[in-house]
Structure formats: structure tokens, C-alpha cells
């Protein structure tokens, strides 16, 4: 049975050692591969890291620092945890709007 993103984050945030993190990450990458058999393990690892970084953006700076420390994960748009010091809701909205406009032009 697959887990929700909330359950995945809860488990990721309970991790306190690199060994635990490595085992968790391998389980997540393996689950991603199982659902996307045509993808390489490297692509699955990239997607898992991106998802962890993205989800951390809904939490707080310490969560972003945690997923970066244990998984090398950063937010796919804003980058490492430093964005918490400079990003405002208005700036985040503008970044999203800009990316949407760029995507629309590429169609």
C-alpha cells in the first residue's frame, strides 16, 4: 500500500541518523522505480529528492534544513533553505506566475 506525501514527510522528519536516512531514501527510490519501471534508478532518486525538497516548502526552514542534511534535497524552484530568509508570499507568487508564463510560451 502506498503512503501519502504527508506520511512520507512524517517518516522523513523522524529520521535522526544518516544510516536511517540512507535506508529510507533507498526504500523511497525503490517504490518510485516500482511505479515507473521505465525510469532509471538515478531518475527515481532525482524525483524523490525533488519531492522531499518541494514538500519541505510547506513546512518551515528547519524542515528544509533537515531534508537537505539527510537527503541532499532542495526545493526544486527556490533552492536550499536560505530562501526562507528572503522569500515572501508575494515573491513566491511572482516566481510561480513567471514560470507559468514561460511554460505557456513554450507550448
Q: Which helix (H) or strand (E) holds 100?
A: helix 89-106
8 Å CB contact between 56 and 63: yes
Contacts 24+ apart (CB under 8 A), 80-85: 84/60, 85/61
pLDDT per residue rounded down to tens, the chain (107 residues) = 688 999 999 999 999 999 999 999 999 999 999 999 999 999 999 999 999 999 999 999 999 999 999 999 999 999 999 999 999 999 999 999 999 998 888 87
8 Å CB contact between 61 and 49: no
Question: What distance, in Å, lies between the first and last C-alpha atoms of the chain?
Answer: 36
Show me where the domains of the chain are located. 5-106
Amino acid at each position: 500500500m502506498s503512503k501519502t506525501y504527508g506520511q512520507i514527510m512524517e517518516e522523513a522528519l523522524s529520521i535522526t541518523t544518516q544510516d536511517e536516512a540512507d535506508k529510507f531514501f533507498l526504500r523511497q527510490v525503490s517504490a518510485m522505480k516500482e511505479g515507473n519501471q521505465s525510469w532509471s534508478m538515478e531518475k527515481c532518486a532525482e524525483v524523490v529528492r525533488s519531492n522531499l525538497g518541494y514538500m519541505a516548502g510547506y513546512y518551515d526552514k528547519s524542515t528544509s534544513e533537515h531534508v537537505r542534511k539527510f537527503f541532499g534535497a532542495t526545493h526544486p524552484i527556490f533552492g536550499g533553505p536560505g530562501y526562507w530568509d528572503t522569500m515572501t508570499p508575494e515573491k513566491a507568487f511572482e516566481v510561480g506566475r513567471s514560470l507559468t508564463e514561460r511554460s505557456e510560451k513554450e507550448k
